[in-house]
């Protein structure tokens, strides 16, 4: 296992900020409307991303999703807005709010490619009402900060459930020092995916082991509907675009290690960016890129870091979840952490408990 960074979070990548806007509103009774939703923002460093675009890639693991902004990233290898994550039916309002934000800081902007991912929180949230928009977007961007990242049922993770347990936002990081240089790779996920019986943590078949426990306590997990996961990767390693694209495809390996097969109805998307920006060249129309050589050593470290960080971010998203009641009398149970600890006692622990 590679070493995690100081915070074990995507914010270990210098300059990367994360913000959460959480909306928990309305009665927890069976018939009342209720909002259990939010937005999470991931901001690459820089004062004005629209003016100083950043190298980025994306990948579709399973495309049953509404994520906005992919084609332009695929075409140009750039992002020009923060990455926002939210709930499915809010995605276009949040994108439109993000456009407002960019226009406010760039009065001339006529072409803007907002990047907004989503998972479906309709299990707990009155999602058809679409309770998020411009104001919430401004808040989640302006409140973003470096430093520790809150996990679990917060921001975009508020209404999410993964492998049958209340989940949400998770994050982790890995240091690339040994082989690549003084760099860090971080992952942040919103986990809303996974079939309960397939769940595995750190090589323990948790899903099966907890089934009996669950039957005893009478808890009923939310029925699996396909789910989704959003994965954001960040690094300050000066990766060429092609390496970022290949890293994105390794997010699948990390995701798979907890047991999912990426169901038919899953919208599983990956974004990756490097905070490295090329310099201006003395020669006209050119830029100077001092990039990692695209070799086995560099790729091996970055790929392994990706797999490990994604796997741990998923686990963190779930073990940080707390039982929550939501709209229509439905609920989602937090995973029993003491029970987990017991299951893990003979194993080296990967996760934060």
Which residues, 276 to 305, sit near a copy of itself by CB under 8 A? 281, 283-300, 303-304
Q: What are the b/e assignments for 39-55, b being 16+ CB within 10 Å?
A: bbbbbbbeeebbeebbb
Which parts of 145-164 interact with a copy of itself (CB under 8 A)? none
Q: What's the closest the beta carbon of residue 296 comes to a copy of itself, in angstroms?
A: 4
Residue nearer to a copy of itself on the CB measure, 28 or 96: 96
Q: Is 143 in a helix, a strand, or coil?
A: coil
User: Two tokens at 300?
Assistant: 């091996």
* CA–CA distances in Å: residue 110 to residues 53, 113, 167: 15, 10, 38
CB of 148 to a copy of itself, least distance (A): 27
Select from 11-19, 33-41, 96-104, 142-150 the region that touches a copy of itself (CB under 8 A): 96-104
Question: Angle, nearest 10°, between helix axes 296-319 and 241-256?
Answer: 40
Phi, psi torsion values for 8, nearest 5 degrees? 50, 50
Nearer Cβ to a copy of itself, position 18 or 187? 187
Phi and psi angles of residue 248, each rounded to the nearest 5 degrees, phi first: -55, -40
Which residues on neighbouring strands pair with residue 188, listed in sequence order? 171, 232
Contacts with 43 (C-beta within 8 Å, 6 or more apart), sequence order: 16, 17, 18, 19, 49, 82, 83, 141, 144
219 vs 277, beta carbon nearer a copy of itself: 277
The smaller minimum CB distance to a copy of itself, of residues 140 and 149, is found at 140
Pattern 46-75, binding to a copy of itself, x per CB under 8 A? Answer: --------------xxxxxxxxxxxxx-xx
Binding-residue total with a copy of itself (CB under 8 A): 89
Report the nearest approach of a copy of itself to the CB of residue 63 (Å): 3
Strand-pair partners of 43: 17
Nearer to a copy of itself, 128 or 338 (CB): 128
Q: Counting contacts by CB under 8 A, is residue 89 touching a copy of itself?
A: yes
Token pair of 251 as six digits: 């997010």
Residues 213-252 that bind a copy of itself (CB under 8 A): 226, 238, 240-242, 246, 249-250, 252
> Nearest Cα to 139, choosing from 125, 150, 151, 155?
155
56 or 149: CB nearest a copy of itself: 56
256 in contact with a copy of itself (CB under 8 A)? yes
Q: Tokens 């099966």 label which residue?
A: 208
Smallest distance, a copy of itself to C-beta of residue 218, A: 26
Least separation in angstroms between CB 123 and a copy of itself = 9
Report the C-alpha gap between 280 and 169 in whole angstroms: 37
* Smaller CB separation from a copy of itself, 103 or 325: 103
CB of 98 vs a copy of itself, minimal distance in Å: 9
Least distance (Å) between residue 147 CB and a copy of itself? 29
| DSSP secondary structure code for residue 158 in this structure | T
Nearest approach, Cβ of 61 to a copy of itself (angstroms)?
8
Whole-angstrom distance, CA of residue 9 vs CA of residue 145: 12
The minimum distance between CB 339 and a copy of itself, in angstroms, equals 18
Q: Is 193 in the site for a copy of itself (CB under 8 A)?
A: no
Which of 8, 22, 192, 260 lies at the binding interface for a copy of itself (CB under 8 A)? 260
Do the beta carbons of residue 232 and residue 247 sit within 8 Å? no
Q: Is 345 in the site for a copy of itself (CB under 8 A)?
A: no
Of 101-140, binders to a copy of itself (CB under 8 A) are 103, 109-114, 120, 122, 127-128, 130
Burial class (CB in 10 A: 0-12, 13-18, 19+), 243: buried
């Amino acid at each position: 296992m590679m070493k995690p960074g100081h915070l074990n979070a995507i914010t270990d990548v210098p300059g990367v900020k994360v913000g959460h806007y959480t909306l928990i509103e309305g009665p927890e009774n069976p018939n009342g409307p209720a909002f259990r939703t939010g937005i999470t923002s991931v901001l690459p460093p820089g004062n004005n991303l629209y003016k100083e675009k950043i190298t980025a890639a994306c990948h579709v693991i399973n495309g049953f999703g509404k994520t906005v902004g992919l084609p332009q990233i695929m075409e140009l290898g750039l992002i020009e807005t923060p990455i926002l994550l939210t709930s499915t039916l809010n995605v276009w309002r949040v994108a439109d709010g993000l456009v407002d934000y960019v226009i406010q800081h760039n009065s001339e902007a006529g072409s803007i490619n907002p990047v907004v991912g989503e998972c479906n929180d309709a299990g707990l949230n009155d999602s058809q009402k679409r309770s998020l928009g411009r104001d919430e977007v401004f808040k989640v961007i302006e409140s973003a900060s470096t430093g520790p990242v809150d996990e679990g049922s917060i921001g975009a993770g508020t209404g999410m459930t993964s492998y049958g347990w209340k989940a949400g936002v998770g994050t982790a990081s890995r240091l690339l020092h040994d082989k690549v240089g003084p760099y860090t790779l971080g992952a942040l996920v919103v986990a809303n995916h996974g079939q309960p019986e397939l769940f595995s943590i750190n090589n323990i078949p948790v899903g099966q082991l907890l089934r009996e426990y669950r039957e005893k306590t009478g808890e009923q997990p939310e029925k699996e509907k396909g789910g989704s996961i959003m994965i954001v990767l960040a690094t300050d390693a000066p990766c060429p675009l092609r390496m970022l694209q290949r890293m994105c495809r390794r997010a699948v390996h990390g995701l798979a290690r907890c047991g999912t097969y990426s169901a038919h109805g899953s919208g599983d998307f990956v974004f990756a960016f490097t905070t490295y920006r090329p310099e201006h060249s003395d020669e006209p129309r050119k830029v100077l890129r001092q990039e990692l050589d695209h070799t086995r050593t560099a790729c091996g470290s970055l790929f392994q870091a990706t797999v490990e960080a994604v796997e741990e971010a998923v686990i963190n998203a779930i073990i940080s979840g707390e039982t929550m009641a939501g709209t229509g009398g439905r609920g989602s149970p937090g995973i029993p952490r003491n029970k987990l600890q017991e299951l893990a006692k003979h194993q080296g622990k990967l996760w934060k408990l």
